[in-house]
Chains A and B, each alone.
Chain A
Amino acid sequence: MRVHVALVATMLVSGQAQAETSGGGVIKGRVLVRGTPPAPRKVPVSADAQCQALHPQGLEQSDFSVSNGGLADVLVYLKSGVQGSFKAPAEPKVLDQKGCQYSPGLVAIQAGQALTIRNSDQTLHNVHFRPALNKEINVGQPRAGMESSRVFPKPEVLVPIGCDVHPWMRANLAVLSHPFFAVSTAGGAFEIRNVPPGTYEIEARHGKLKPVSAKVDVTGATTPVELTLVIEPGK
């Protein structure tokens, strides 16, 4: 079943709360979802004996991780209004292939930050990044425990990731020019720290849904935000 998507943005900006970090505020909130996500689909994995052994009944997959009205695995980032340049963190982020699935389904890094690509499965995976701005990458990882490291120099939201061997394996990469982003967790919660005071456009991006954005004023304290993505059935 394909999903129809429409968007409604709701933003609740309350008054100032207590600042949690020095030198900047915190944007804290939830990504909510309106509409009914399609039922998880059963993906046969019998083409690969290793994947079949891990999922003898097939793999149950859903594009939407919804709980308590909130949506996980959504990128929330400051789309505009950020001033200055920011050094990429030295600590790499990890994209794992485990149980013939990607973990996490959305990985967000800063441009110039290393991404470690790991294969935890005893089978061949290839990690195929299909960016529009960065260089296309397709790495073959035939052995469990193998790791590769890649750096994406240009900001790009979102980069589709797929395994050509196992077509059900899909994920997304977000590459941002600054550190003011988060990926929503269970229930849609997110938190962006150390945001300099100012006025920004904040956006929520999910690989299957139309993005939603809103204006947010950060004044050095905690700024609550709710962004609502809408799933339209039947599309």
Chain B
Amino acid sequence: MIALVSVLLLAGWATSHPGIEKGRQIFAQSCTQCHGQDGRGNPQWESEVRPVDMTDCGTTAEPTELWESIVRSGGPPHGLSSVMPAFGEAFDKEEVSAVVAYLRTFCTTADRYPAGDLNFRRLLKTGKAFPEAEWVLRLSDGGKGRAREGELELAYENRIGPRFQYEIEAPLRYAAPEGEGRGLGDLTLAAKQVLHFDVPRKEILAASLGVTLPNGSESKGLGNGVWALSPSLAYGRAWGRNLLQATVGAELPTDSSKAPRLATYAIGLSRALGPARSAWTPGVEWVGEVETRTGEHRYGVWLELSKPLNRLGHVIAAAGVQIPVRPRSDPTRLELYLLWDFGDGPFWIGW
């Protein structure tokens, strides 16, 4: 079992921003009328709209690029209130950067939170290192005729504190190969802790541990009838708009005679074709597993594309196809996901 020990590497990126004093001045001149001097909203301001509470450290999950774009372009391009004006003509790029750096200091423990700049676009198979607050609905379908297998999986992920996330995954098989049945598969409960992050380097590392319950019917092939642990590490790094994400882990059933022990890995490369919160993002993943007893190595390549569906960018869809490499006889699979980052707000806002 992997110990979930946090490495306190305080990046200090926000408070060390060179223009932070300039940002304070700009905020005082141009923002306090609505946002208040303390960033919690000016109680004297007469408006039906209440500004976001910037002291809420949940706001750290938003990337700097998004904050800056909201300051420049106002609320509507991002599906937010039109009461937020555009300041792109009032402030140059450095001034916008400075004021965003300043307003991010309203969360006084911001340095403990992985910044939203490290919240990289989710790939189909490779796990994320960033602690999320989202629902993810996945569809996986492959095989032909009597061998066809289709599964829907609903995952709920929620964040607690700066770096911890828990997760529940529930798979539902809607199309079963011959001899097996449809129904609810084994549930998985998982916990994730960010071990390290570095905002200037755009790097994040997390460890997670999953526990799979033996609730799925063995006779229908919906489960193995054994408990299983699945420890893993997830890493993410960005170079500009290019993203590298990788996971290594294991699946360790309590009874290896009923289910194989596996070493698993996935590595994905993707590139955002524009601002991260709105861009089409094509990607490629190499996903494999090794059975520890026999040494059998299975792997394949995934080609995929993802895109936020709304202006706020908190509802995202992705689609991809698996090309089996080893063995080539594995069926080609199609996978889709639809995710809602509820940490950014209700599903219906931002369209």
Q: Is the CB of B89 within 8 A of A139?
A: yes
Cβ of A199 within 8 Å of any chain B Cβ, yes or no, is no
Cβ of A23 within 8 Å of any chain B Cβ, yes or no, is no
A146–B74 alpha-carbon span in the complex (Å): 18
Name B's A-contacting residues (CB within 8 A): 26, 29-30, 33-34, 44-47, 49, 74-76, 82-87, 89-90
- Per-residue CB contact flags for chain A residues 58-95 toward chain B (1 = under 8 Å, else 0) read 00000000000000000000000000000000000000
A141–B33 alpha-carbon span in the complex (Å): 13
The one of A124, A127, A143, A164 that contacts B83, using a Cβ cutoff of 8 Å: A164
Cβ of A35 within 8 Å of any chain B Cβ, yes or no, is no
A148–B85 alpha-carbon span in the complex (Å): 13
A221–B219 alpha-carbon span in the complex (Å): 97
Chain B residues with CB under 8 A of A234: none
- Per-residue CB contact flags for chain A residues 105-146 toward chain B (1 = under 8 Å, else 0) read 000000000000000000110111010000010111111001
Q: Give A48 Cβ to nearest chain B Cβ, in Å.
A: 7
Known: A124-B33, A141-B90, A146-B90. A47 touches B44 (CB 8 A): yes
A126–B74 alpha-carbon span in the complex (Å): 11
Chain B residues with CB under 8 A of A130: 82
Q: Is the CB of A167 within 8 A of B74?
A: no
Cβ of A165 within 8 Å of any chain B Cβ, yes or no, is yes
Chain A residues with CB under 8 A of B26: 142
A110–B32 alpha-carbon span in the complex (Å): 36
Query: Nearest A residue to B30 by beta-carbon distance?
Result: A142
The one of B44, B82, B83, B89 that contacts A148, using a Cβ cutoff of 8 Å: B89
Q: Is the CB of A140 within 8 A of B29?
A: no
The one of B45, B86, B90 that contacts A143, using a Cβ cutoff of 8 Å: B90
Query: Nearest B residue to A165 by beta-carbon distance?
Result: B33
Query: Nearest B residue to A48 by beta-carbon distance?
Result: B33
A16–B42 alpha-carbon span in the complex (Å): 61
Residue pairs across A and B with Cβ atoms less than 8 A apart, 13 shown, are A47-B33, A47-B45, A124-B29, A124-B30, A127-B85, A128-B82, A130-B82, A139-B89, A140-B30, A140-B85, A141-B90, A148-B89, A164-B47
Name A's B-contacting residues (CB within 8 A): 47-48, 123-124, 126-128, 130, 136, 138-143, 146, 148, 164-165, 167
A138–B44 alpha-carbon span in the complex (Å): 21
Q: Is the CB of B46 within 8 A of A138?
A: no
Q: Give B80 Cβ to nearest chain A Cβ, in Å.
A: 11
Q: Is the CB of B34 within 8 A of A136?
A: no
Chain B residues with CB under 8 A of A138: 74-76, 82-86
Chain A residues with CB under 8 A of B83: 128, 138, 164
Q: Give B100 Cβ to nearest chain A Cβ, in Å.
A: 15
Q: Is the CB of A140 within 8 A of B82?
A: no
Chain B residues with CB under 8 A of A143: 29, 90
Chain B residues with CB under 8 A of A142: 26, 29-30, 87, 90
Q: Give A25 Cβ to nearest chain B Cβ, in Å.
A: 42
Query: Nearest B residue to A137 by beta-carbon distance?
Result: B86
- Which of A123, A130, A138: most chain B CB closer than 10 A? A138
The one of B30, B49, B82 that contacts A136, using a Cβ cutoff of 8 Å: B82
| A-B interface, 7 closest residue pairs, ranked by CB to CB distance from nearest | A140-B85, A142-B30, A126-B85, A138-B85, A140-B87, A164-B83, A165-B33
- Which of A123, A139, A146: most chain B CB closer than 10 A? A139
Known: A48-B33, A140-B30, A165-B33. A128 touches B46 (CB 8 A): no
Q: Give A130 Cβ to nearest chain B Cβ, in Å.
A: 8
A146–B47 alpha-carbon span in the complex (Å): 25
A136–B86 alpha-carbon span in the complex (Å): 11
Chain A residues with CB under 8 A of B45: 47, 165
Q: Is the CB of B76 within 8 A of A136?
A: yes
* Extra inter-chain contacts (9) besides given A126-B85, A130-B82, CB under 8 Å: A47-B45, A138-B74, A138-B82, A138-B86, A140-B85, A142-B26, A143-B90, A164-B34, A164-B85
Q: Is the CB of A139 within 8 A of B85?
A: yes
Chain B residues with CB under 8 A of A146: 89-90
Chain A residues with CB under 8 A of B47: 164, 167
Q: Give B92 Cβ to nearest chain A Cβ, in Å.
A: 13
A141–B30 alpha-carbon span in the complex (Å): 8
Q: Give A161 Cβ to nearest chain B Cβ, in Å.
A: 13
Chain B residues with CB under 8 A of A127: 85
Q: Give A146 Cβ to nearest chain B Cβ, in Å.
A: 6
